[in-house]
Amino acid sequence: MILGLTGGIATGKSTVSAMFRARGAAVVDADLVAREVVEPGSEGLRKVVNRFGKEMLDERGGLNRRALGDLVFRNPDARKDLNRILHPLIIGEMRSKTTAIREAEPERVIIWDVPLLIEENLTQFVEKVIVVYVPEELQKIRLMDRNGWSAEEAEARIRAQLSIEIKKQMADYVIDNSGTLSETERQVDQLWKSLKSSGG
């Protein structure tokens, strides 16, 4: 069984992902794969530099993530170009990792941990969607606390993503992470038991 795990910025998706991993799920993490496909010498890095210029490299010849992040956050066309370059590479790598896990352990539950699972129409690659949810106001507070941002900065980042309320409506399963860690853990336990008993 392949499940997609998603959420919004500061909803706690990474925390929930770690909880599933601790219970035995194989987690294929899109953020990790996204780093792998732009490592020095990779096709991904070469394509990024061809499109955005050598100023996207750091002093060691690796990707300057901050410079690239600032550029694509401010420029929607640049963001589209970056997605067009990297998404096929990321999806290809995630699918090959998934195939390897399935061949080695056919019964294992596989979780695709993908921030933009819904926005980028990647739900086609998974059987069910899990959304890690907190209300938008709490998202904003957590983001301000975590990153030291102003309310305006936090709101801008939240608005740059699909609303968590819309994601919640599109979920097969919702993990509400607005309470305590043990409350979240309880929900993960419950879902994990149900997935295992349904033959996952």
Rounded Cα gap, residues 129 and 5, in angstroms = 6
Per-residue pLDDT reduced to its tens digit, 111-157: 999 998 998 889 999 999 999 999 999 999 999 999 889 998 899 88
What percentage of residues in the chain have a pLDDT greater than 90? Answer: 72
pTM of the model: 0.86
Q: In this predicted structure, what is the pLDDT of residue 200? A: 46
Q: In this predicted structure, what is the pLDDT of residue 76? A: 85
On the question of pLDDT at 18 being above 80, the answer is yes
Sorted by where each starts, the structural domains of the chain and their CATH numbers stand as 1-25+109-200 (3.40.50.300), 32-107 (3.40.50.300)
Residues 6+ apart with CB under 8 A from 145: none
What is the strand order of the sheet 128-133 is part of? 26-29, 110-113, 2-6, 128-133, 173-176
Per-residue pLDDT reduced to its tens digit, 45-78: 999 999 998 888 988 889 988 889 888 878 889 8
Buried b (16+ CB within 10 A) or exposed e, 97-119: bbeebeeeeeeebbbbbbbebbe
Tell me the average pLDDT across 167-171.
Answer: 95
